[in-house]
Amino acid sequence: MDNLIIGFFVSFIITYVSIPVIVRIAKAKKLVDVPDSRKIHKAPVPSLGGFGIFAGFLLAMLIAVPSKSSAGLQYIVAASFLLYIVGLKDDVMIITPLKKFIGQLAAAFIIINLADIRLTSMNGIFGIYELPYAVSLIISYFSVIVIINAFNLIDGVDGLAGTLGIISSLIFGIYFYFAGDPLYAVMGLSLAGGLGAFLVFNYTPAKIFMGDTGSMLVGLINAIMVLHFIKVSTAPGAIVPVASAPAVGLAILAVPLFDTLRVFVIRIFLHRRSPFSPDRNHIHHLLLDCGFSHPVCTATLAAYNLLLIVGVFAMRAEGNYFLLLGLTLISLSFTGLVTYFRRPTARPIIATITGMEPVVPVAEGLALQEVASIPIHRKSGSLEPQKNVAVPPTIQPVFSMEEE
């Protein structure tokens, strides 16, 4: 228990102390995330919060992990440092999705092939138990890459990725403590401590974003913990066995995972473009279009994720089939409900983002350029006429530039 407390507070203090310094340096050097037609924030905001999270997490791990339980720690640190470098370069200079993907593959190789943290069994899903080595590698690589990108892509609203990361890392950390696994218990609590300090500066109005440096680190650590959780909790003679562990692990990461998989399917099969191309189809975008503010959006998705976790854990005796099907149906229903109440807005989404030319209904006497020039209230999604610009009284905020 002492190691957990030390890990949490070392990570919290280091991150808390470093963030204000990072904000000042980032503003002085103009290392900020500039708003555009797709992004939600209004003013340039530093996006190097992941530097502080990584510093706190790394120092806490090196200090708090017991020496007798440190087997494999070097691989976790190495993979984290690799993604830190990739994320930092993307936050500062912008790199192509391919280069970022190669960095993620390299980190996955360290975790899966060198540290041997991988899925070895399907636990009876589709009647499959032990996996052949090659199949185990394929599924493990897919899982790690998807989870890394899930947290990277869900980081679109103030406090959202950090809050979901705290929920998952605390749950995994507490489980591993009772399961007698100090390395992973300290890992979970150290990440939670760093994210807790970061959120002090990231809740609305955000003074800093975690950027790819932070979001990919959070995704990597959660990928490691969920793979290890499934393996440990289903092993013969497990100290704390968990029935339907794959479904429970999926529920813990439900919001970022289902959102990412849904968006990837839309981009690949409906829009015929790269799964890494940006758009406004994420669940937080849909909630914002319903009129939710950043704090309400974050609180809604966090509460929804907690309900899924509690529900699946309470029904874990029902088996993986039932729970995985239930999670899928609930996630689709939740997204469908949010989409139904989504309000149309006049967002000037350009063809380079959507991949197709939008059709815009033009109001009486109002040119297309004038429609695009009307600014959008970022929180409510409503139109705000510019000062000193005559706007016909017949205009209603119903223009939609969504993809057909």
The HSE-up count of residue 114 (CA atoms within 13 Å, CB side) is 16
301: number of Cβ within 10 Å? 24
Confidence of residue 13 (pLDDT cuts 50, 70, 90): very high
Confidence of residue 280 (pLDDT cuts 50, 70, 90): confident
Nearest to 117 by CA among 87, 147, 97: 147
The vertex-255 CA angle with 249 and 261, nearest 5°, equals 90
Confidence of residue 345 (pLDDT cuts 50, 70, 90): low
- pLDDT computed for residue 386 by the predictor: 46
What average pLDDT does the segment 344-369 reach? 40
Nearest to 78 by CA among 51, 102, 114: 114
Nearest to 175 by CA among 118, 245, 71, 125: 245
**What's the mean per-residue pLDDT of the chain?**
85
**Domain ranges (residues) in the chain:** 2-241, 349-404
49 and 198 Cβ atoms separated by less than 8 Å = yes
φ/ψ of residue 32, rounded to 5: -130, 160
Stronger pLDDT, 64 or 389, i.e. the higher one = 64
Instruction: Give the tens place of pLDDT for each residue, 193-235.
Output: 999 999 999 988 899 999 999 999 999 999 999 999 999 999 9
**Has residue 372 got a pLDDT over 50?**
no
Confidence of residue 325 (pLDDT cuts 50, 70, 90): very high
φ/ψ of residue 383, rounded to 5: -85, 145
50 and 4 Cβ atoms separated by less than 8 Å = no
154 and 165 Cβ atoms separated by less than 8 Å = no
37: number of Cβ within 10 Å? 13
- pLDDT computed for residue 124 by the predictor: 87
HEC secondary structure over 252-273: HCHHHHHHHHHHHHHHHHHCCC
First to last CA, the chain: 55
Cis peptide bond prior to 348, omega within 30° of 0: no
45: which strand partners? Answer: 33
Confidence of residue 167 (pLDDT cuts 50, 70, 90): very high
* Tokens representing residue 380 in the block: 């409510």
* CA distances from residue 202 to 16, 184, 210, 313, 388 in whole angstroms, order as listed: 12, 26, 8, 30, 34
121: which strand partners? Answer: 130
* Tokens representing residue 89 in the block: 């370069």
Could you give the percent of the chain with pLDDT greater than 90?
69
* Tokens representing residue 320 in the block: 């993986």
**pTM, rounded to two decimals:** 0.83
Instruction: Give the tens place of pLDDT for each residue, 170-200.
Output: 999 999 999 999 999 999 999 999 999 999 9
228 and 245 Cβ atoms separated by less than 8 Å = no
What average pLDDT does the segment 300-311 reach? 98
Instruction: Give the tens place of pLDDT for each residue, 110-162.
Output: 999 999 999 999 998 988 899 999 999 999 999 999 999 999 999 989 999 99
